[in-house]
Structure 1
Amino acid sequence: MSRMGDVLAGFHAAWEFESDSVLIRYERGIRTPKLFQALGERRIPFEAIETVTLAPGRRGTVVLRVEPRAGADPLMEAAAGQLKESCDPYRLVLPAERETLAEYYADELRAQLKPHDGDAERFLVGAPEVPLRFKAYDGKASFDGKTVSFRWFWTGASSAKWKAGDQSFPVADLNGVEWRSPEVFEGHLRLLRGAAPLLPVDQDPAAVVFGLGYGPVHESLPFAAAVLSAVRTARPSAVVPAMRRDPADIAERIRHLGELHQSGLVTDEEFAVKKAELLAEL
């Protein structure tokens, strides 16, 4: 970069350009997305950046964005494309009159990038700091950096989970994490354990279910990212096996989904998307 320590301030965040990275500091204002406030700040090494773009935004703004390399950021790996645009931590929204300045920094960043050969082999962006915890609909999840614990709520947990009892999972025994946004149908966090079968999330003792006000993005996603990072550190060569559910279970879940759709609790779009996802698991 031309001058180490240069700062470009936008709405909800400021980017500080350093010799080998971009330090993103998020505001804590009332209008700032809660996910940004939870993240606080993030250092993005140039090595973790795939591309840099500058495009027109809404209502007289421009958007500077860096695209992280696949496999470089545990937060984005856990999110798996489910974040809303307004909660994308790699976007910096600026007034349109600052477009020339934004273009200058975009060019400066592009000049620092080197060609990459495929996905990142390890996480290059730091994971959220532990300990972390959040309340799901059916239990409380906590993570101390080594063990994930689920403590069930008798008011929300299924009989299967209640009978199984509270759960503890050392990261060394895990293969990965499945996070489905609480803002969509059947939001949940599931721990992936080798060849263990994937049960319905409300019956799976290795999963917690989200709900209205439970497992919000700004709490459950950093949690998932921290667990995923710890799993990769403990088992760098671990590969999550392809898992298939019982066809009878898929059929039952589609039937239940259809009932929710007919009763108006699920929109046409949500029904079509979820049905396709369930069929893809066969």
Structure 2
Amino acid sequence: MGDVLAGFHAVWEFESDSVLIRFERGIRTPKLFQALGQRRVPLEAIAGVTLSPGRRGTLVLHAVPRPGADPLMEAADGQLKETSDPYRLVLPADREALAESYADELRARIGGDDTPAERFLVAPPEAPLQFKAYDGKASFDGKAVSFRWFWTGASSAKWKAGDQSFPVTGLSGVEWRSPEVFDGYLRLLRRDAGGLPPAQPDQDPAAVVFGLGYGPVHQSLPFAAAVLAAARAAGTAPVAVPAARRDPADIAERIRHLGELHEAGLVTDEEFSVKKAELLAEL
């Protein structure tokens, strides 16, 4: 193909065997896009292509990734907002004819294979990576994940366990719950867990919890994707595991805490209703 299609926050460069997505920098560009910089997506990693009307006189060209092809999307597990989806290119509506021609050519080249990929086809974010969670600092050097606890946020269980280091060879995957929900966290899934149910994230030395301003998506998600890819490369389990259902007593405690934030004016009526419903759905 060898052509370029420029959108509002990214430029897609179409090559014979891949699409190179270059994300722009700017105040209006989602922070996740800025953190990713650019990504090369092999055509075999794309399951489908759609072109649909967007908001306020725009079009959206969307490349649908194959399941299991991209560690970032595997770690996200469907939790990304549409505006933060790196496979969406937003275009002015007057470029419909041009966008349709690119969409048609892409459809002809990808073959429409939506079967799960046997390996990651899109490169993960590069280490070293780090971010601050509410209860500790998480670091990844490509070989091991380290958690260093903060005395202001870590539970007594984590202080008792001490700072942690987990080689990727001992990990079976990751569990990322977006910081944009009430109780987000990043948990490392260990091969030596023995099938026992994991402790709550705030009590688990293999997890860090997020909070207001901590573990933002543009930092914690690339981190999770890089760890997941390294764990798979080390011969461990290939997929991120969905978050486990919580203990009813823990749900009740979190709803009580949410109510306190609501009464203090730190959470709006709408946020309180939405988050409470999310917690109750986990019962």
Q: Same fold (TM over 0.5)?
A: yes
Equivalent residues of 1:197, 1:243 under 8 A apart = no
The change in CA–CA distance for 1:58 and 1:241 in structure 2 (over 3 A counts) is: closer
Aligned-partner Cα distance in 2 for 1:222–1:240: 14
Aligned-partner Cα distance in 2 for 1:243–1:218: 20
Alignment of 1:176-255 (within 5 A): 176-194=173-191, 195-236=195-236, 250-255=247-252
Aligned-partner Cα distance in 2 for 1:97–1:254: 49
Aligned-partner Cα distance in 1 for 2:240–2:220: 21
Equivalent residues of 1:140, 1:151 under 8 A apart = yes
Match of 1:161 in 2: 158
Aligned-partner Cα distance in 1 for 2:217–2:89: 20
What do residues 5-48 of structure 1 show as CA deviations (whole Å, max 9, x unaligned)?
A: x1000001000000000000000112111100000000011100
Aligned-partner Cα distance in 1 for 2:15–2:120: 20
Equivalent residues of 2:154, 2:202 under 8 A apart = yes
Matched letter for residue 72 of structure 2: L
Length-normalised TM-score, structure 2: 0.91
Length-normalised TM-score, structure 1: 0.91
Aligned-partner Cα distance in 2 for 1:126–1:67: 16
Aligned-partner Cα distance in 2 for 1:63–1:126: 24
RMSD: 1.9
Secondary structure of 1:105's aligned partner: helix
Aligned-partner Cα distance in 1 for 2:242–2:49: 33
Matched, 1:273 2:243: no
C-alpha displacement of 1:114: 1.9
C-alpha displacement of 1:158: 0.7
Aligned-partner Cα distance in 1 for 2:146–2:243: 23
Structure 1: tracts of 5 or more residues without a match: none
Aligned match for 2:94, one of 90, 93, 97: 97
Structure 2: tracts of 5 or more residues without a match: none
The change in CA–CA distance for 1:143 and 1:34 in structure 2 (over 3 A counts) is: same
Equivalent residues of 2:13, 2:21 under 8 A apart = yes
The change in CA–CA distance for 1:86 and 1:267 in structure 2 (over 3 A counts) is: same
Aligned-partner Cα distance in 2 for 1:125–1:213: 29
Secondary structure of 2:175's aligned partner: strand
Aligned-partner Cα distance in 2 for 1:127–1:275: 34
Aligned match for 2:254, one of 251, 254, 257: 257
Matched, 1:19 2:16: yes
Secondary structure of 1:184's aligned partner: coil
Aligned-partner Cα distance in 2 for 1:43–1:207: 30
Alignment of 1:118-137 (within 5 A): 118-137=115-134
Match of 1:109 in 2: 106
Matched, 1:64 2:77: no
C-alpha displacement of 1:240: 7.4
Matched letter for residue 103 of structure 2: A
**Bigger mean CA offset, 232-241 vs 189-198:** 232-241
Aligned-partner Cα distance in 1 for 2:244–2:29: 40
What do residues 86-111 of structure 1 show as CA deviations (whole Å, max 9, x unaligned)?
A: 11100000000011100010001000
The change in CA–CA distance for 1:51 and 1:13 in structure 2 (over 3 A counts) is: same
Equivalent residues of 2:61, 2:88 under 8 A apart = yes
